[in-house]
């Protein structure tokens, strides 16, 4: 019974993720793309819960749905004109694009199905937050600090790029 519930939830989430990702990939309206991306991210968070990654699922909801998607919606709303919103996300080269995509997806699915992956028998569903914290401040301390420096420089770079150029005094038009 437990397995049946697990399977049903997995297939529902997988259909939601794949369907909304396909909509993101082919829709012509960029606002609808952005809102379909919400369902993709939420479905991926659900898959993380099924994979016993509770902390990563919460992080996914907080950062992707709460942060990244709001940024994307900001960019969409600020940069596209309302009059042409229906054709705001056009594509070029669809036929070769679909061809390469189908080839790539077929290769990936073939590898996923036919690969001899090492699978451990016992799968536990224990909470992971405490051990992630220990790992981040123990084994992965150096990458953690490097990422913090990278985030700082990235944010400074974003501010510098997005800021309006200020004219020097006496040089105004």
Partner 1 sequence: MTPGLPHFLIVGAFLFAFGILCVMTRRNAVGVLMGVELILNSANINFIAFAHFSGTAQTRIDGHVFALFCIVLAALECAVALAIVMAIYRNFNKLIDMEELTTLRE
Report which of 39, 26, 38, 32 is spatially closest to residue 80, judged by C-alpha positions: 32
H or E element in which residue 120 lies: none
Q: Are 126 and 51 in contact (CB under 8 A)?
A: no
Label residue 165 left, alpha or beta by phi (over 0 means left) and psi (-120 to 50 means alpha).
beta
Q: How far is the CB of 59 from partner 1 (least distance, A)?
A: 6
Q: How far is the CB of 167 from partner 1 (least distance, A)?
A: 14
> With respect to partner 1, which residue has the nearer C-beta, 4 or 170?
4
Q: How far is the CB of 123 from partner 1 (least distance, A)?
A: 7
> With respect to partner 1, which residue has the nearer C-beta, 79 or 170?
79
Cα–Cα distance, 141 to 139 (Å, whole number): 6
> With respect to partner 1, which residue has the nearer C-beta, 160 or 172?
160
> With respect to partner 1, which residue has the nearer C-beta, 124 or 172?
124
Q: How far is the CB of 144 from partner 1 (least distance, A)?
A: 8
Cα–Cα distance, 30 to 18 (Å, whole number): 18
Q: Are 39 and 13 in contact (CB under 8 A)?
A: no
């Amino acid at each position: 019974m437990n397995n049946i519930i697990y399977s049903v939830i997995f297939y529902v989430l997988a259909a939601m993720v794949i369907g909304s990702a396909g909509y993101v990939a082919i829709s012509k309206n960029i606002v609808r793309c952005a809102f379909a991306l919400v369902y993709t991210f939420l479905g991926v968070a659900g898959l993380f819960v099924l994979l016993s990654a509770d902390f990563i699922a919460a992080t996914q909801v907080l950062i992707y749905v709460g942060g990244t998607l709001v940024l994307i919606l900001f960019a969409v709303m600020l940069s596209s004109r309302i009059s042409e919103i229906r054709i705001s996300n056009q594509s070029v080269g669809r036929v070769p694009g679909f061809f390469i995509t189908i080839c790539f997806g077929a290769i990936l699915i073939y590898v996923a199905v036919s690969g001899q992956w090492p699978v451990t028998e016992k799968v536990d569903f224990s909470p992971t937050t405490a051990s992630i914290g220990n790992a981040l401040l123990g084994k992965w301390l150096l990458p953690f600090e490097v990422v913090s420096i990278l985030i700082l420089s990235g944010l400074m770079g974003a501010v510098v790029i997005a800021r309006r150029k200020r004219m020097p005094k006496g040089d105004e038009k």
